[in-house]
Structure formats: C-alpha cells, structure tokens
C-alpha cells in the first residue's frame, strides 16, 4: 500500500484547521498549535490515523463488502464521484436522503422504481402512454437518477461509511451509529471525532486536501479488491487442480479395476480350458480302456470258439 509523506500532506494544506473560536474541544488531541487565530492540525497524527483507516477499508473491500462514500459539499462532490466510481463503490454527492440507512427498504423500492421505468422504455410501454405521462415519468426518472443513481448497486446495507465533513453530514453519521456501521471520516477542528470510529484529522474544506486523502483511501480499497480477485483466481485454480487430480485418480482406479477384471477373466478362461483338457484326456483314457476291454473279450471269445470250430471242420472231413 502506498504511503503518504508528511511533505505531501503539508503541500496539500491538510494541516489547516478552522478559526480558534469555531473549534471543538474534543479535537484538542489532534491540534498541534494555533497560529494567527487558526488551529494547525498535527500531521504526524494525521499520517497514523490515515494509515489505520486505509488498512481497515482495505480489509472491508477484500471481504467483498461495500463502503458508502458521503460528500455533499461543493468542494468534494466532483472529486468523490470521480475517484469512488473508479473503484466501483456507492457514493452520495447530492442531498443525503433522510433514512437512507435506517429506512433502507424504502430507498430500495425507489431504486426498483427507477429500474421499472428503464424496462418500460425498453419494452415499448412508453409508446402507449400520452406525451404528458411520458414527460412526467421521464422527469421522475431523472430525479431518482440524480438522488439514487450512484447507489443503485447497493442491494444491502454497506459494511462501512466514509464521510467528508462530519459537521455537514451529521444525519448520515447518526444513522450509521444507530445501525453500528463503522464510520471513517475526515475530521476538521470544528467537528466532533467521538462519534467516528476511524477519524482522520484533516482539512475538509480544501479540494487539494480532500483529493489527497481520497486518493490514498481509494488506492487502499482498490488494493483490497485486487487481493480478493487474486484469492478467488487462486481458489478456482486450486479447485481445478483438485478436480483434475480426482479425475486422474478415478481414471487410474477404473483402469486398475478393468485390468484386474481382465486378469480374472483370463485366469478363469485358462482354468476352464485346463478343466476341459483334463476332461477330454479322461474321456480318451476311458475310451482306450473300453477298446482294450472289448479286444480282450473278443480274443477270449475267439479262444473259446476255436475248439468247437476245429471239431466242426473235422466232422466235415
């Protein structure tokens, strides 16, 4: 994660606070000194707190949850919308819709209404409406887009909230505190840091200061998202490797089983052939014995009949 140097913070004017008479006593630990009636913020503490907040936001982004950025003041609007949209996170730069967190289902209904109007434009329902109705719906869609277009992807409550100017966005901070959503915020000398979980003491009025802090924060968020992407790719690769190993093991097991079956078949065939050979030999032996017995009987009978035949021959003579 890139580190912001003391000089960069100094050059961006992060150290400038508000007039002494406007200060909040709770900010005393973060104030370095007072000069010409203006409080100067301790940049060493800003560095530490900024790194702490960036690490926290990086872990949230790495877990795949959303962080809501809130900045409705003129100096911060364009900076937030440009930098936050690059990391694909929701943001609010127009008026904070009261109850956006505490009454989130109603806000979701408004977002769904916007999506319904978009569907009407695509499926040709608009053509069946009168010109006046079309104009009313188009204006309603434009109003919803302006207020809620940047949070249309926010399907559930955010895991954290980043605020520029706590004093101006006090309603958003209260809603987050009520729902126990951790709040990261740029806190100036006129703000109360006690309601903020991760305060970053910094000048929240200068566009350079806001830009520098947001650069650091969005880079940390992007890093968290990239790490998550790499982990997912690694998990997919590991799952693929495990599957390949399993398939290979299954194929080897099948081949082994087939080989054993073939061997068993061969051995049974051989055993059958051997048995048949033995049976044939036994039959041959039996036939030979029968033939020998017949021969013996025939010769014995011939011997018995020989004297009678000789006597007949003599009688004829």
CATH number of the domain bearing residue 19: 3.40.50.10490
Is residue 283 one of the residues assigned to a domain?
A: no
d(CA 96, CA 62): 27
Query: How confident is the model over 22-34, as pLDDT tens digits?
Result: 888 888 888 888 8
Task: Find the domain containing 174 and state its range.
Answer: 6-236
- Domain-embedded: residue 298: no
39, β-bridge pairs: 34
Q: For residue 95, what pLDDT band results from cuts at 50, 70 and 90?
A: confident
What is the tally of structural domains in the chain?
A: 1
Task: Please give the full DSSP string across 15-38, using - where no structure is assigned.
Answer: TEEEEGGG--GGGGGGEEEEETTE
Residue 143 lies in a domain: yes
Alpha carbon 108 to its chain centroid, in Å, reads 23
User: 252 in a domain, yes or no?
Assistant: no
168 lies in a domain? yes
Taking the whole predicted model, whether its pTM rises above 0.85 is answered as no
pLDDT in tens, 108-166: 888 888 888 888 878 877 778 888 888 888 888 888 888 887 888 888 899 999 999 89
Q: Which residues contact 242 (CB under 8 A, 6 or more apart)?
A: none
Q: Report yes or no on 73 lying in a domain.
A: yes
Is residue 32 in some structural domain?
Answer: yes
Q: Does some domain include residue 269?
A: no
Average pLDDT over residues 100-108: 88
Looking at residue 124, what is its pLDDT? Answer: 77
């Amino acid at each position: 994660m890139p580190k912001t140097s003391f000089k960069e913070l100094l050059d961006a004017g992060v150290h400038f606070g508000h007039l002494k008479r406007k200060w909040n006593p709770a900010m005393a630990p973060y104030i370095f000194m007072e000069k010409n009636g203006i409080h100067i913020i301790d940049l060493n503490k800003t560095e530490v707190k900024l790194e702490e907040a960036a690490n926290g936001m990086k872990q949230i982004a790495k877990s795949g949850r959303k962080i809501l950025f809130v900045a409705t003041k003129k100096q911060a609007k364009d900076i937030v919308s440009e930098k936050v949209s690059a990391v694909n996170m929701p943001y609010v730069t127009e008026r904070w819709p009261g109850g956006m967190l505490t009454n989130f289902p109603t806000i979701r209904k408004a977002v769904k209404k916007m999506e319904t109007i978009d569907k009407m434009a695509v499926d040709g329902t608009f053509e069946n409406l009168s010109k006046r109705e079309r104009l009313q719906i188009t204006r309603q869609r434009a109003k919803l887009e302006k207020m809620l277009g940047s949070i249309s992807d926010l399907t559930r409550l955010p895991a954290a909230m980043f605020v520029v100017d706590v004093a101006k966005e006090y309603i958003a901070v209260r809603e987050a505190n009520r729902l126990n959503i951790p709040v990261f915020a740029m806190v100036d000398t006129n703000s109360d840091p006690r309601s903020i979980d991760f305060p970053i003491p910094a000048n929240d009025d200068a566009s350079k200061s806001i830009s520098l802090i947001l650069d650091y924060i969005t880079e940390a968020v992007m890093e968290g998202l990239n790490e998550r992407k790499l982990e997912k790719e690694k998990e997919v690769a590991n799952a693929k490797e495990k599957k390949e190993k399993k398939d290979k093991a299954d194929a080897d097991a099948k081949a082994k089983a087939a080989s054993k079956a073939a061997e068993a078949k061969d051995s049974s065939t051989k055993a059958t052939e051997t048995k048949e050979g033995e049976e044939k030999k036994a039959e041959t032996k039996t036939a030979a014995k029968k033939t020998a017995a017949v021969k013996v009987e025939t010769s014995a009978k011939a011997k018995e009949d020989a004297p009678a035949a000789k006597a007949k021959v003599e009688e004829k003579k």
